[in-house]
């Protein structure tokens, strides 16, 4: 069992699993048939102090909110709606009762916003670090579910929101940087929002083929789709949506304008592939509903290669994204 790479580790487990559900290991959620037209979605996630968060860079209230939002984002990525959660905590003695109360206040704010039921969980002590485990269940119609394995050659690759802000916000927190853009960038990291309604909207279109939420970065999460769909892709870096806050701050940490957008993660934007003949209709209707743009950033290709272009010039980009087993980002030698 390979513990040096998250991809390899998951695949080594998957090879031993006999699939008895509609969708098992390898997507944002598992899916089980509960009625002829309805699927039960289940996702679970660990948030571990010193790996996913530090107590001095996020308030207990925002940590409670974020813990739920990042989990239900997996439900959004499959076109579903969240219904209930179970939460388990391993609590170290250093955390006082008022901290846990604030944590639950943030958590319940999100549960109330989405009308999600808390059904149970577990608590334990921890010798050192705060550990959070949340399991979310939701539902999606069988004919609406979106998975990673359905991308088609010729599909546009589309994002529904700018990316990279969260990674810059984290770097500002870790390096104690304060500039006019810091508050918004830090909020992007500490107060993410799942795109539940947007995911359901996109899932209503048959032309939306594959979908995923960006938790580990565009590079790594796109590769999930490519591996599952047995396809390649071309990405046009100059088409990647970047916020004004991002453009005003990225050079504090990198010479490469696209580094944190490609590898940063924790943006929770939706990345999806769409048949070209339906894109204009979807784009127009999306703007009417949400008053926000969709961004074509590339195309799905036959084969297995992933290529990057900047102003029509091919670039050697090696950014990978966050790997939870190495607790690290892989870096690039690209400096454009």
DSSP state of 49: B
What is the per-residue pLDDT across 110-142, written as a single tens digit (0 to 9) for each? 999 999 999 999 999 999 999 999 999 999 999
Dist CA 233 CA 209 (whole Å):
15
What is the per-residue pLDDT across 28-48, written as a single tens digit (0 to 9) for each? 789 999 988 999 999 999 999
- The torsion region of residue 176 among left (phi > 0), alpha (psi -120 to 50) and beta comes to left
Q: Walk me through the domains of the chain, giving residue ranges and CATH numbers.
A: 6-141 (3.30.1330.10), 148-329 (3.90.650.10)
Containing 172, the helix (H) or strand (E) segment is helix 165-174
Residue 328 pLDDT > 80, yes or no? Answer: no
Residue 331 pLDDT > 70, yes or no? Answer: no
Largest Cα–Cα separation, the chain: 58
Dist CA 226 CA 292 (whole Å):
27
Percentage of residues of the chain with pLDDT beyond 90: 83
* pLDDT (mean) for 87-103: 97
Confidence of residue 220 (pLDDT cuts 50, 70, 90): very high
Residue 318 pLDDT > 90, yes or no? Answer: no
Containing 40, the helix (H) or strand (E) segment is strand 38-48
Burial of residue 187 (CB within 10 Å: 0-12, 13-18, 19+) is middle
Q: What is the mean pLDDT of the chain?
A: 90
Q: 20: Cβ–Cβ under 8 A, 6 or more apart, which residues?
A: none
Residue 26 pLDDT > 90, yes or no? Answer: no
């Amino acid at each position: 069992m390979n513990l040096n790479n998250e991809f390899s580790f998951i695949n080594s487990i998957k090879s031993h699993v006999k699939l008895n559900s509609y969708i098992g290991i390898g997507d944002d959620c598992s899916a089980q048939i509960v009625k002829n037209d309805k699927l039960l979605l289940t996702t679970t996630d660990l948030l571990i102090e010193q790996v996913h968060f530090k107590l001095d860079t996020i308030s207990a209230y925002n940590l409670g909110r974020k813990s739920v939002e990042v989990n239900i984002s997996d439900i959004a990525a499959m076109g579903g709606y969240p219904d209930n959660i179970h939460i388990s905590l391993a609590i170290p003695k250093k955390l006082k009762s008022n901290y846990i109360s604030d944590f639950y206040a943030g958590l319940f704010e999100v549960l109330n916003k989405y009308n999600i039921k808390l059904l149970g969980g577990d608590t334990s002590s921890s010798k050192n670090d705060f550990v959070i485990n949340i399991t979310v269940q939701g539902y999606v119609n069988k004919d609406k579910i979106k998975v990673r394995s359905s991308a088609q050659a010729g599909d546009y690759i589309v994002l529904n929101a700018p990316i990279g802000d969260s990674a810059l916000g984290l770097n500002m927190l870790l390096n104690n940087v304060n500039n006019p853009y810091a508050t918004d960038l830090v909020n992007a990291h500490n107060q993410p929002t799942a795109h539940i309604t947007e995911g359901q909207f996109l899932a209503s279109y048959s032309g939306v083929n594959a979908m995923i939420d960006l938790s580990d970065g565009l590079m790594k999460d796109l590769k999930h789709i490519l591996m599952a769909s047995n396809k390649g892709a071309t990405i046009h870096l100059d088409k990647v949506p970047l916020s004004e806050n991002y453009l005003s701050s990225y050079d504090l940490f990198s010479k490469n304008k696209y580094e944190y957008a490609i590898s940063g993660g924790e943006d929770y934007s939706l990345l999806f592939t769409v048949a070209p003949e339906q894109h204009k209709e979807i784009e127009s209707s999306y703007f009417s509903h949400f008053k926000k743009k969709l961004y074509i950033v590339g195309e799905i290709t036959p084969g297995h290669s992933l290529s990057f272009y900047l102003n029509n010039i091919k670039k050697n980009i090696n950014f990978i994204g966050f790997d939870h087993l190495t607790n690290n980002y892989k870096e690039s030698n690209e400096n454009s």
